[in-house]
């Protein structure tokens, strides 16, 4: 018997474990949906050193795998670098698959900043992309954006879930990188020429929010895109009549896959989403 269209899962993809922050928001917004998460940790991070062509090839390959293996009804590209490099090509090559991307929250930052000075932390792949430059230009009329490429930060967050790096050493490395890059942006605060808003332009960085909060102070707004992406996903599915049956009281299921270390994904899934190890699986040839 053919599965009802709306009962199919939503695919979520990231270069690694950073997209779990978006999956977290999606689960909150769409608790009755099934999700399939793909962490391409064997090739992470995309934003530090991978070229645009490589990211495009991986994005398309993963989208096709998720569709052929799991018959996904939509794909959330939970990676700023992959969105910037590949989402337009993805939509052109797979026009029947709704694709929701993520991008740094420059528009809401410009709208809510009182000092009109905003800091942006992102990967080099995102910062150097034409898509980001267009976004920056579109919202810079009345807001000054200080942009910092954070080489190594996404990788450090990725490694924090891997063995055998000690937890204390891993945490200290993340703190040091956050301090370096936040410091490079300039002064945070609510005085003239100070940044009162910080945009996290990489889904990995959400998992370093506590470290960044300690650096920029309690009154600075820190924006990420997880909740906005989850709301957009709901809107698109509703328009297409593809929302899961909300009458079903059982929460949706989640399967997670990785091209990297299985123990790392299991650790991240348990730490940030309270999911059991059995929900994770390693892929060797995807």
The tokens describing 197, both together, are: 């808003």
Sheet containing strand 197-201, edge to edge, reads 144-149, 117-122, 197-201, 221-223
Calpha distance 209→205 (Å, rounded): 7
Residue 51, sorted as left (phi over 0), alpha (psi -120 to 50) or beta, turns out to be beta
The tokens describing 115, both together, are: 């000092």
Query: Which of the following is catalytic: 150, 178, 202, 280?
Result: 202
Calpha distance 271→161 (Å, rounded): 9
CA 157 vs. chain centroid, Å, equals 13
Taking each continuous run of H as one helix and of E as one strand, the counts in the chain are 12, 10
112 carries an active-site annotation: no
Query: Which of the following is catalytic: 79, 150, 178, 280?
Result: 79
- Residue 270: helix, strand or coil by DSSP? helix
79 carries an active-site annotation: yes
Catalytic residue set = 79, 202
């Amino acid at each position: 018997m053919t599965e009802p269209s709306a009962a199919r899962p939503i695919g979520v993809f990231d270069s690694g474990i950073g997209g779990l922050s978006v999956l977290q928001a999606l689960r909150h917004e769409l608790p009755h949906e099934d999700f399939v998460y793909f962490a391409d940790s064997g090739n992470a991070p995309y934003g530090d050193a991978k070229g645009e062509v490589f990211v495009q090839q991986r994005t398309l390959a993963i989208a096709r795998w998720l569709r052929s293996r799991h018959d996904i009804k939509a794909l959330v590209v939970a990676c700023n670098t992959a969105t910037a490099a590949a989402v337009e090509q993805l939509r052109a090559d797979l026009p029947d698959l709704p694709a929701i991307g993520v991008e740094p929250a420059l528009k809401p930052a410009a709208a809510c900043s009182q000092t009109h000075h905003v800091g942006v932390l992102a990967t080099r792949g995102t910062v150097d992309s034409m898509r980001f430059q267009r976004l920056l230009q579109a919202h810079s009329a009345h807001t000054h954006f200080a942009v910092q490429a954070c080489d190594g930060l996404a990788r450090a967050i990725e490694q924090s879930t891997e063995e055998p790096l000690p937890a204390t050493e891993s945490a200290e490395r993340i703190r040091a990188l956050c301090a370096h890059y936040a410091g490079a942006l300039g002064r945070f605060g609510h005085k003239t020429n100070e940044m009162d808003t910080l945009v996290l332009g990489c889904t990995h960085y959400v998992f370093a929010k506590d470290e960044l909060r300690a650096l920029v102070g309690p009154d600075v707004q820190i924006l990420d895109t997880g909740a906005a992406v989850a709301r957009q996903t709901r809107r698109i599915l509703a328009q297409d009549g593809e929302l899961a049956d909300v009458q079903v009281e059982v929460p949706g299921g989640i399967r997670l896959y990785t091209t990297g270390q299985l123990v790392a994904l299991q650790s991240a899934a348990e730490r940030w989403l309270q999911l059991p190890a059995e929900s994770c699986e390693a892929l060797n040839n995807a």
